[in-house]
Structure 1
């Protein structure tokens, strides 16, 4: 696998933070959807300062100001190298929030707002994660708290911190919008996971048959897929067996099952999902 150039990562960060800023400025903010993080706090602050300052405190300013002390503390505790690309991603997100105009999109439909906001933001977050960065905020806060509370994971701490932000959002904007925000959070999680793990899912098949050679030859010749023989032992019969392991695409799994049944009607086949497959014939990853 070829090593990916650093500039590609920075382009991914720019694209990802741009999408996140679009979701925040044109969907989350106009609809009062607080999905956690420092941007969620920024939306709350903008709403609460609307009577004191025309339009309230800008989102980009709150996000930047909240992140500055967190990054300084992170640099002191974990070192400058720990910050790395996350600092660039945080600045990029604040810059996008400043550049992208704030306007209302899907203001009358909170269902569409939470779904499409989650999709756009989730894709953006996934791109940032692919570049081995985060956008700071509660991610960095959780990492710092975990430094002092090592018996908790960063994910657990993040859930608590973001939940507190959502609860404050529920107080400011109402419980109904908070529930829609939870939908958006779920969609963001699913989309970012899909970007990170890859959307091209495959199927893995475990085949136990008395005709290993025939089944293997048929699969290799008709599907052009390799197999691996795994030594196994039948606990009931006590007989030594050779279990065949093969990974194919979703379209090929039907043909694989037909080949196995045709070659050995008594074969035992287990088919499971393979969320991410790297290597020849599947996904080539550049690190």
Structure 2
């Protein structure tokens, strides 16, 4: 059992290193030569390296260390170790790839943004999916969200707004705008890498015809359902609640099924970041 856990950690560390190398290549071969930066600590490091002539890898490692310590205190030792592996790999890779051939020039700014965003998104997504981090701003945002009434996403957006404003003074307004677009593309690619293309959705249905709806979902969508008892707060009547998990491509069909059986049913559909266990895998219904 211990050997299996050790092997899993080694595989995760290797994947984190691969993700860090991909990120470094995106920075050194695409973005930095075209004066386009990333957000967070990485963006600050790129501006610092440009202003002071110090290697980017040095800034990346030094500036991220305090956030790794915060992550160790708040999240745990494994997260801190995996983050150190990722940050060290990113720092070393940026130094080794500093003189790599630039694959896109300033004459193709949109291709630069697209390619850079994709490479950053894939690299950072692989790292996050394996339990590490390459940028301390995310750790800071999580900690601040516990103290102030803003979400993690809002705080990261606020931090990056200041970083991109600073980039406009160093690299120019056009480069800052391209940097913001690159960050947006990378963020969406990260979500795809972490969650997958078939994003899951949780469905809760409150209806007097819950069993009939459940039978239709199982026969027409091939999804398992779970029933539980509830009581209406206003009517004080007992009712049956149906829960199931679908993918986003099945949402319209499910809504259609519910409307056909009970147009007055109360339906709540929400995004699910991860599904484990149970019998979520769709069975063949054809």
Shorter-chain TM band: 0.7 to 0.9
The TM-score normalised by the length of structure 1 is 0.74
- For 1:19, the equivalent position in structure 2 comes to 22
Cross-structure match for 2:43: 40
Aligned to 2:89: 92
1:11-54 per-position Cα deviation (integer Å, ceiling 9, x unaligned): 221121112112101221011112234433443345446xxxxx
Q: Deviations over 1:176-198 (max 9, x none)?
A: 11111111122222222332333
Query: Structure 1's 210 and 154: CA in aligned 2 closer, same or farther, altered over 3 A?
Result: closer
Is the 1:138–1:162 contact (alpha carbons within 8 Å) kept by the matching residues of 2?
no
Cα deviation for residue 7 of structure 1 reads 1.3
CA distance, structure 1, for counterparts of residue 62 and residue 204 of structure 2: 54
Any unmatched runs of 5+ in structure 1?
A: 50-55
Aligned to 2:115, the other structure's residue is in SS state: helix
Relative distance call for 1:172 and 1:252 in structure 2 (3 A) is: closer
CA contact (8 A) 1:205 1:245 kept: yes
Q: Deviations over 1:78-130 (max 9, x none)?
A: 59947422221111002221333141415323223223312221221121112
Pick which of 160-169 and 253-262 moved more. 253-262
SS in 2 for 1:108: coil
- Aligned residue for 1:5, secondary structure, equals helix
* Residues 267 and 136 of structure 1: CA distance in aligned 2, closer, same or farther (over 3 Å): closer
Match for 1:29 among 9, 28, 32?
32
The whole-number CA distance in structure 2 between the counterparts of 1:237 and 1:78 is 48
Further displaced range: 178-187 or 220-229: 220-229
Q: Over the residues paired in the alignment, what is the CA RMSD in angstroms?
A: 3.8
- Per the alignment, do residues 157 and 274 of structure 1 end up closer, same or farther by CA in structure 2, a change over 3 Å counting? closer
Query: Per-residue deviation at 1:234?
Result: 4.4
1:103 corresponds to: 102
**Correspondence for 1:151 among 118, 124, 147:** 147
Aligned partners of 2:231 and 2:239 also within 8 Å: yes
Task: Please state whether the residue corresponding to 1:186 is helix, strand or coil.
Answer: helix
Cα gap change, 1:270 to 1:173, in 2 (>3 Å): same
Q: 1:179 to 1:17 in 2, by over 3 A?
A: same
* SS of equivalent to 2:104: coil
> 1:121 matched to which residue of 2?
120
Task: Determine the C-alpha separation between the residues in 1 that align with 2:64 and 2:135.
Answer: 7
The reply to whether residue 213 of structure 1 matches residue 214 of structure 2 is: no
Once the two structures are overlaid, the 10-residue window that deviates more, 172-181 or 33-42, is 33-42
Query: Which of structures 1 and 2 has the larger relative contact order (alpha carbons within 8 angstroms, sep 6+)?
Result: 1
Whether the aligned pair in 2 keeps the contact of 1:87 and 1:136 (CA below 8 Å) is: no
Unaligned runs of 5+ in 2: 282-286
Which structure has the bigger radius of gyration? 1
Matched residue pairs, number? Answer: 268
Matches of 2:253 and 2:162 in 1, distance apart?
50
Give yes or no for contact 1:114–1:184 (8 Å, CA) kept in 2: yes
Q: Give me the whole-angstrom Cα distance separating, in 1, the residues matched to 2:208 and 2:69.
A: 59
Post-superposition Cα deviations, 1:50-88, rounded to whole Å, max 9, x if no partner, equal xxxxxx5443344345556x48x949x959947422221
Q: Are the counterparts in 1 of residues 245 and 280 from structure 2 also a CA contact under 8 Å? A: no
97 and 274 in structure 1: CA distance in 2 versus 1, 3 angstrom threshold:
same
Distance 1:13 1:280 in 2: 29
